[in-house]
């Protein structure tokens, strides 16, 4: 958008808002709008604030946020003559703040966040009416001592800069209510921090602070203190004076594996609602925690706690309690008193048994007991009527009692990695279930009643001993994700075709010999995994799955692909490894969105020229086939990153191979190639080239163009010499030329200063060139 010059005639205008209009330039005619009080050019493409801005002396609010401005014009100093109070220049490319900024003495709010400012001019101290200063995401290393003049400042945000030390003058900002120093490099707080007695919010997280000054206790108005991700191993007892604290975050202060000791004064925080002590090597919780009667969120995860004090039961306001990844073996029965608890995470401990008193937690929504040593679940669980998520994964549970059937509101049940032999009978009553994970158990049957869970969207029974699927599976019409992998299923029931919402279907590693034609009804399917079965024929109905992006058919007995494969125009990955395919249909050319095509270990004798239409292909694997020749159309695959043609019968590469300019990995080992064409030199970003076990007698000098090559394998060929151009491959890390007929190495070998491995065995080299001494990175010779 372009602003017309005629705007100058709107001389009574007081508010002008051109926010988010792709404006590249502010016309100098703006100077005529001298009644303007609010000017907004935020979110445009402006590179320069016009000097004519100096004439707008009635401005109170000026906004140039989110542009491409590199410089603040010195003329901004004239705006102090009247009323400018709000200046927004965030998200630009400003690197230097002019000293003239100090003339804007009426400013109340200055936002310079997300720029490239490394230094503040001392004149910043003239802004004595400033109440809010935002400098987030710059590269400021030091604050000028004049910052102490900003005695009316209420909010100072220096998040994500490079500050190492704070000037003592910061102690003069006695009206400051919010101070954010997070994501800097501060090691020590100045003693004068004690003077900031008006502070409500103090963010010190992600610094290098090793201790808090005792005088931190003077900041009695603090409601939020965040010191997570520092190097603090001990808290001063004076921290207990902060009786108005509501949020205290001490997470991750164990960088040097020091154990954080909690002082008993922590019990003074009677107004605390949120306490985060995660990742601190804490082994013990002081009993004074019982005084935190208003605590709603307690995070003790990732510590070394082996026992919870019974006083934990005094925290009657607790809503969220996380103590995952500790060393608990028991839970105190006093947990029953946490009658407001909604989320309880006890995962990754050593818990053997859950006390029956858990039944008292009748407001619980989410209970995570995963990765413990439970062998059963208490009967009392039936009383948790509000429970929506229950995670019992990675335990040693052999049986689930019928009591689970009373959890009518349960939507997510995780029983993965247990020892269940029988499908839990009570599950069929849980009609609200959306997700069930029963993977990695010992189930042999799935009851027909599974079909009654008609809200189910996710069902995982992989890695079990299931031999048959019930017809009732077809009633799960809301199912989007079905994982049946690693079982002993021989037949897929035709009722599978009723699952019209299915997006992901995994039947890998079973004994399926054929698919029902109804599979073609799953038109929303995006991922279909049929690997490692006994399938010999792919039905034409596969062509109905037009939303399919990933089709995995490896390790079957498929001999041919139906022409309908060409209808799958959204396919991005086609995997056919280890089959008996002898020929690709020409319809393959329609799959222009294909990125990955894996055809290893088949019986393909010829690639159709139509392969050249797969212009988005990045990975093409053809190992272990019977291909004798590559079609010249292979050169059309200009986005190819990896080409593997190991152990076929190729004797020669087409010169069009040189068109594959994005190729990074080329594997041609174990073929019958006698000669490399000079076009190989066009592959300038190639990182790995494997030509082992061929019949190559000479390398073309164009090999020198492979400047990015890191790995070159040439062993077991018929080379008698290495060209001097090899010396240009200065990024080479590994060079293998073993088992050839090489008599001498060129002196240019000494230029390969990044070489780690050089394999020369089984040649006829009698003497190494003296330049070998330059290979100072060499680890193996």
Give 431-449 pLDDT, tens digit per residue.
999 999 999 999 999 999 9
Residue that the structure tokens 């205290």 belong to:
248
What does the chain come to in residues?
781
Check pLDDT > 90 for residue 377: no
Average pLDDT, the chain: 95
Could you tell me the CA-to-CA distances from 633 to 597, 607, 614, 616 in Å, in that order?
16, 10, 10, 14
78 pLDDT band, cuts 50/70/90, is: low
The pLDDT score that the predictor gives to residue 82 is 63
The pLDDT score that the predictor gives to residue 77 is 66
183 pLDDT band, cuts 50/70/90, is: very high
pLDDT in tens, 419-428: 999 999 889 8
For 608, phi and psi rounded to 5 degrees? -70, 150
DSSP result, 3-29: --GGGGG-TT--EEE--SS------GG
| Tokens linked to 669 | 């080992």
75 pLDDT band, cuts 50/70/90, is: confident
Among 290, 292, 346, CA closest to 323? 346
For 480, phi and psi rounded to 5 degrees? -110, -20
Check pLDDT > 90 for residue 699: yes
Stretch 247-253: mean pLDDT, rounded? 96
Options 3.40.50.1820, 3.40.50.880, 3.80.10.10, 3.30.930.10; CATH of 697-781: 3.80.10.10
Kindly give the pairing relationship between strand 86-88 and strand 412-414: unpaired
Q: Which pTM was predicted? A: 0.89
142 pLDDT band, cuts 50/70/90, is: very high
pLDDT in tens, 496-523: 999 999 999 999 999 999 999 999 999 9
pLDDT in tens, 256-304: 667 788 899 999 999 999 999 999 999 999 999 999 999 999 999 999 9
Check pLDDT > 90 for residue 41: yes
Check pLDDT > 70 for residue 109: yes
Distance CA 441, CA 392 (A): 12
Which of 4-13, 359-368, 687-696 has the lowest average pLDDT? 4-13
pLDDT in tens, 527-566: 999 999 999 999 999 999 999 999 999 999 999 999 999 9
Distance CA 738, CA 226 (A): 60
The residue ranges of every structural domain in the chain are 697-781
Please calculate the CA angle 650-656-662 and round it to the nearest 5 degrees.
Answer: 105
Contact partners, residue 30, CB within 8 Å, separation at least 6? 7, 8, 50, 52, 53, 56
Check pLDDT > 90 for residue 1: no
pLDDT in tens, 456-469: 999 999 999 999 99
Among 723, 730, 728, 718, CA closest to 745? 723
Check pLDDT > 80 for residue 394: yes
Stretch 105-126: mean pLDDT, rounded? 97
79 pLDDT band, cuts 50/70/90, is: low
Check pLDDT > 60 for residue 80: no
């Amino acid at each position: 958008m372009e602003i017309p010059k005629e705007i100058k005639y709107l001389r009574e205008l007081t508010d002008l808002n051109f926010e988010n209009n792709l404006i590249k330039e502010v016309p100098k005619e703006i100077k005529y709008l001298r009644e303007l009080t609010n000017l907004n050019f935020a979110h445009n493409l402006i590179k320069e604030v016009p000097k004519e801005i100096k004439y707008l002396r009635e401005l109170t609010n000026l906004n140039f946020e989110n542009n491409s401005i590199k410089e603040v014009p010195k003329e901004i100093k004239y705006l102090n003559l009247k009323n400018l109070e709000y200046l927004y220049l965030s998200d630009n490319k400003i690197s230097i703040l002019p000293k003239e900024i100090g003339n804007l003495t009426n400013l109340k709010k200055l936002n310079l966040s997300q720029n490239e400012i490394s230094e503040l001019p001392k004149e910043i101290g003239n802004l004595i009416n400033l109440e809010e200063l935002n400098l987030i995401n710059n590269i400021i290393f030091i604050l000028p001592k004049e910052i102490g003049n900003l005695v009316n400042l209420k909010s100072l945000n220096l998040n994500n800069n490079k500050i190492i030390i704070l000037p003592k003058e910061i102690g003069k900002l006695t009206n400051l209510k919010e101070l954010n120093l997070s994501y800097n490099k501060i090691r020590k707080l100045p003693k004068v921090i004690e003077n900031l007695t008006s502070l409500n919010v103090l963010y010190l997280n992600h610094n290098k602070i090793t201790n808090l000054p005792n005088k931190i206790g003077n900041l009695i108005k603090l409601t939020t203190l965040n010191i997570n991700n520092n190097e603090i191993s001990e808290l001063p007892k004076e921290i207990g004076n902060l009786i108005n604290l509501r949020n205290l975050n001490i997470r991750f202060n164990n960088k040097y594996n020091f154990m954080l000791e909690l002082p008993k004064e922590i019990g003074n925080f009677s107004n605390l609602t949120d306490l985060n002590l995660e990742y601190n090597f804490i082994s013990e919780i002081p009993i004074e925690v019982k005084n935190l009667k208003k605590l709603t969120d307690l995070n003790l995860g990732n510590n070394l706690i082996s026992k919870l004090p019974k006083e934990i039961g005094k925290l009657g306001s607790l809503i969220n309690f996380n103590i995952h990844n500790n060393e608990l073996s028991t839970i105190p029965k006093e947990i029953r008193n946490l009658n407001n608890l909604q989320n309880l995470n006890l995962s990754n401990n050593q818990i053997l048994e859950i006390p029956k008193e858990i039944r008292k937690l009748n407001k619980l929504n989410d209970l995570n007991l995963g990765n413990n040593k439970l062998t059963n679940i208490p009967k009392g669980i039936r009383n948790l009527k509000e429970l929506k998520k229950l995670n019992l994964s990675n335990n040693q549970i052999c049986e689930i009692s019928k009591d689970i059937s009373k959890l009518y509101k349960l939507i997510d049940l995780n029983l993965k990695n247990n020892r269940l032999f029988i499908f839990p009978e009570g599950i069929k009553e849980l009609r609200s279930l959306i997700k069930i994970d029963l993977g990695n158990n010992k189930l042999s049957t799935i009851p027909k009643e599974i079909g009654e869970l008609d809200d189910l969207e996710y069902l995982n029974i992989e890695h079990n001993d299931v031999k048959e699927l019930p017809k009732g599976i077809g009633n799960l019409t809301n199912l989007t994700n079905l994982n049946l992998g690693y079982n002993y299923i021989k037949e897929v029931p035709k009722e599978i075709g009723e699952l019209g919402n299915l997006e992901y279907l995994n039947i890998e590693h079973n004994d399926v010999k054929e698919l029902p034609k109804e599979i073609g009804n799953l038109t929303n399917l995006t991922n279909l995994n049929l690997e490692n079965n006994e399938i010999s024929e792919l039905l034409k109905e596969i062509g109905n799955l037009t939303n399919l992006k990933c089709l995995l058919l490896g390790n079957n007995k498929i001999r041919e692909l139906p022409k309908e494969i060409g209808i799958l125009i959204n396919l991005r990955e086609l995997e056919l490894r280890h089959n008996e395919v002898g020929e690709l249909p020409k319809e393959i050319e329609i799959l222009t969105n294909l990125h990955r095509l894996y055809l290893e270990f088949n019986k393909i004798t010829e690639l159709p020229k139509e392969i050249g239409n797969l212009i988005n292909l990045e990975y093409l694997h053809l190992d272990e086939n019977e291909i004798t020749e590559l079609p010249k159309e292979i050169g059309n695959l200009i986005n190819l990153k990896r080409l593997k043609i190991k152990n076929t019968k190729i004797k020669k590469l087409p010169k069009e191979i040189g068109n594959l300019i994005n190729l990074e990995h080329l594997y041609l080992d174990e073929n019958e190639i006698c000669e490399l064409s000079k076009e190989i030199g066009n592959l300038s970003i190639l990182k790995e080239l494997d030509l082992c076990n061929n019949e190559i007698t000479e390398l073309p000098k164009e090999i020198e163009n492979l400047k990015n090559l890191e790995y070159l394998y040439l062993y077991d060929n018929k080379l008698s010499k290495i060209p001097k151009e090899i010396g240009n491959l200065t990024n080479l890390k590994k060079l293998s030329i073993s088992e050839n007929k090489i008599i001498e190495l060129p002196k240019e070998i000494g230029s390969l200063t990044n070489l780690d491995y050089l394999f020369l065995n089984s040649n006829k080299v009698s003497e190494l060139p003296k330049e070998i001494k330059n290979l100072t990175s060499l680890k193996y010779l």
